[in-house]
Every structure is written in structure tokens, then in C-alpha cells.
Chains A and B, each alone.
Chain A
């Protein structure tokens, strides 16, 4: 468990470092994810080293978003001022994106039957 946590944090640290050093538009944790994927593919990191820590974090990932969400309370006034374009734009557009993305994948995916 500890080994996995250390690996995840070190990869995140390197990702954050690269992101700020090169002024990349991609956040450090996403770069860390890409680096970790590379390390797994190359066999530099073994699945067993990572498994326990990764499974634990992933099963609670939803929880980790809660404090950020509570932060919305600071901006109620801002949203209230132009609530119709803000709320309608956000909600409708989310459905548009899901439909466009999902249908594009469905249309192009010949392997689809495989996991139905």
C-alpha cells in the first residue's frame, strides 16, 4: 500500500514539476497519469506495486471532489446575477457534448459488439 502511494505521489510530483517548468497548459496530475501509463507499458512499474493504493484511491475518487464543490457557495451571487444563460448554457451544453461524443464513438466503433 505505502509503496503504491509513494509511486503515485512521486509521479504526480514529477508531472507538476514538468507542467510548471515548461509552462504547459496541462495540469501536473494529468501529466503524472500519462507518465505512469508509460512506466507501466515499459515495465518500469509493476501493476502489483500500484494496485492496492490505486484501487483504494479510485474507489473514493468521488469523495475527493466534495470540498471543491462546496466552494461553489462562494459564487452564488455571481451565478444569480445572470442565472438563466449560465445555468441553461451549462446544463444543455453538457447533454449536447454527451450526445455528440457518444454518437461519434458509436458510429465509428466497429468493435462495439465486443463489450455489449
Chain B
């Protein structure tokens, strides 16, 4: 039995089954807290904890599913290419929006954690939370935060954007696909983007662009900000 649980078959079947059920539930209810990604992550964690199955066993299959994320990111080039005219028409708003988002992310995440009494390492770990995982890890390693904590917070941020990003945008008066896609992609990277792709291809394409550019902007801004902090 334990061998079977450690085989990739277990992690793959469990993930697909749970995701399938979660998606079904979301389609039936349209209740935002039943977001398929967040719901699947939550259910699988509960299941593994209750049945006392180690994450390492689950991940033998899990990492095979995760592998497909790589080519999916490359595939984001397709909607970007197809909507290139609409994107080029807005290049300045898009670039400045991402830049403003990157700066506000660094300052607000670190600032709020610091105000609430977070320790030095924790405050630093929050800095790249809106950036896609591989870039976030690179940044946090350089500034001296806790790498696994950052990895977990990136997922949390992504789930939040996927659960209520588009709804939040509507509430604060952001209605166009371009602005919604940019806001959700910049704030909550791939997980937020994945939700948009299922609902609004153009918003999803812009969000995909925002993942790459926000990652780049944050990676460049963080060392500059640190230099400023050192000076004053």
C-alpha cells in the first residue's frame, strides 16, 4: 500500500480527481470561495493530513503535473500575439501600471508586516510575494528572507487574486478587460492569470504579460530600494 501511495499514479490521480470535482462544484455554485485551485489545494492538504500521507509521497505525482506549468507559460505567447494590436495601443498604460504595481507591492507588503511587528526575516520574505515563484525565490535569496515562506506566500497571494481579484476590480471601478487583467496578473501572477484565462482571453493575455514584466520590474527595483535604505 505504501509503495502505491509513493508512486506517481497516486499524486496524479488524486490531483486530477479533486480538481475535477472542485471545478464541477464551482461551475454549479459560482461561489467565489469555491475557486477550483484554492479548493483543490485545501482539500488535498486536509486529505493528506487526515490520512497521514507525507507530502513527498504525494509530490512524486504532483511534480509531474507541475511540470506542465513550464510549457503553459510559454503558451501564453499565443494569446499575447493574437491580441498584440490592442496591447500595443496601450503600451504606456500597461508598462506604467505594472511599474506602479511592482513598487506598491514591495512597499505595502513589507510595510504592513513591519507595522504589525513582523521580524526582519519575515518582512523581507514578504517583499516578492506578488511575483511568479521562480523569480520570487531568486529575489528572496538575495535579500535574505526565508525561501520556503516566500514560496508559500506566493501561492497564498495567487489564490487570493484567483478567488476575488476580478470581483475586487469591479467593486473599485475597474471594468475594462485590459485594466482587470493587468491588476490581477501584476498582483497575483500565474494563479490569478489562470482564472482569467478561463473567463476572458484578452484579460488573461494581459495578465500573462504582467507576470513576466512584474517579475522583471521587481527583480530590478528591489536591489535599488535596498541601496536607498542603506544610504539613509
Q: A interface vs B, CB < 8 Å?
A: 5, 8-9, 11-12, 15, 25-30, 32-34, 36-37, 40-41, 47, 50-51, 53-55, 57-75, 78-79, 82, 84-109, 111-112, 114-116
Contact = CB atoms under 8 A, between A and B. Distances in A.
Given A26-B219, A30-B211, A64 B68 contact: yes
Given A57-B71, A92-B112, A40 B104 contact: no
Given A30-B73, A101-B97, A50 B78 contact: yes
Contacts of A74: 55, 148
Given A26-B216, A62-B36, A112-B179, A67 B59 contact: yes
Contacts of A66: 15, 18-19, 37, 40-41, 44, 62, 65
Interface in B102-125: 104-105, 108-110, 112-119, 122-123, 125
Interface in B12-29: 15-16, 18-19
B97 A105 contact: yes
B176 interface: yes
B174 interface: yes
Interface of B: 11, 15-16, 18-19, 36-38, 40-41, 44-45, 48-49, 55, 58-59, 61-63, 65-66, 68-82, 84, 86, 89-90, 92-94, 96-98, 100-101, 104-105, 108-110, 112-119, 122-123, 125-126, 129-130, 132-135, 138-139, 146, 148-149, 151-153, 155-162, 165, 168-169, 172-180, 182-184, 186-188, 190-191, 193-195, 197-198, 202, 204, 208, 210-212, 215-216, 219
A9 B71 CA distance: 6
